[in-house]
Amino acid sequence: MHLKVGDQAPTFIGKDQNGNTIQLSEFAGKKLVLYFYPKDNTPGCTAQACNLKDNYYALQQAGYEILGVSSDNEQSHQEFIDQYKLPFRLIADQDHTIHKQYGTWVQKSMFGKKYWGTARKTFLIDEHGKIEQIIEKVKTGEHTNQFFPKR
């Protein structure tokens, strides 16, 4: 699916790191940073998560909640959260349903070998459920600056 700014964000239902159901409708009336990343505990993904954590208070002050999505399982997410003290929830999208809704489950290539994986991409969703920004070229260590300048 090819989403663009102004589109209604696809509704989703998934499980967070504790096995609790989480869905887009929970964020009605709030802004949401919905970020897709390849794998827990890898250098780029850790830098991205920690950058969001370091700016969590400022993002909340601006009305944003944060939600990460990867195809890792719930236990992996819980360990990632515990290790880096992440203050936000992560969705375990092992069947790639949410990835496919947002167009982030893509064919990749490494050393001539093709495989399927997560495209690192962030969607900023407004309080009405519309996509207000899409960041396709994520700078992991300074990700928040791409959509929310540091103060």
Provide the pLDDT for residue 2.
Answer: 86
Of 32, 33, 45, 69, which is the active-site residue? 45
Provide the pLDDT for residue 22.
Answer: 96
Chain center to CA of 43? 16
Q: What residues in the chain have per-residue pLDDT under 50?
A: 151
Q: Would residue 115 count as lying in a domain? A: yes
E strands, 1-151, are 13-15, 21-23, 31-36, 64-70, 89-92, 105-110, 113-118, 121-125, 131-135
Query: Is 50 noted as a catalytic residue in this protein?
Result: no
Provide the pLDDT for residue 128.
Answer: 95
Q: Would residue 18 count as lying in a domain? A: no
Q: Would residue 19 count as lying in a domain? A: no
3-state helix, strand, coil in the chain (%, to 5): 30, 30, 40
Provide the pLDDT for residue 151.
Answer: 45
Number of C-beta neighbours around residue 2 at 10 A: 5
Query: Which CATH number belongs to the domain containing residue 110 in this structure?
Result: 3.40.30.10
E strands, 44-112, are 64-70, 89-92, 105-110
Provide the pLDDT for residue 147.
Answer: 83
Provide the pLDDT for residue 149.
Answer: 57
Measured CA to CA in angstroms, residue 89 lies from 21, 33, 151 at distances of 11, 11, 24
How far is Cα 145 from Cα 63, in angstroms, rounded to an integer?
16
Provide the pLDDT for residue 150.
Answer: 52
How far is Cα 3 from Cα 74, in angstroms, rounded to an integer?
27
Domain count, the chain: 1
Q: Would residue 5 count as lying in a domain? A: no
Q: What is the pTM of this model?
A: 0.93
Q: Would residue 14 count as lying in a domain? A: no
Q: Would residue 86 count as lying in a domain? A: yes
Provide the pLDDT for residue 133.
Answer: 95
Task: Give the structural domain span for 34.
Answer: 30-146
Provide the pLDDT for residue 17.
Answer: 97
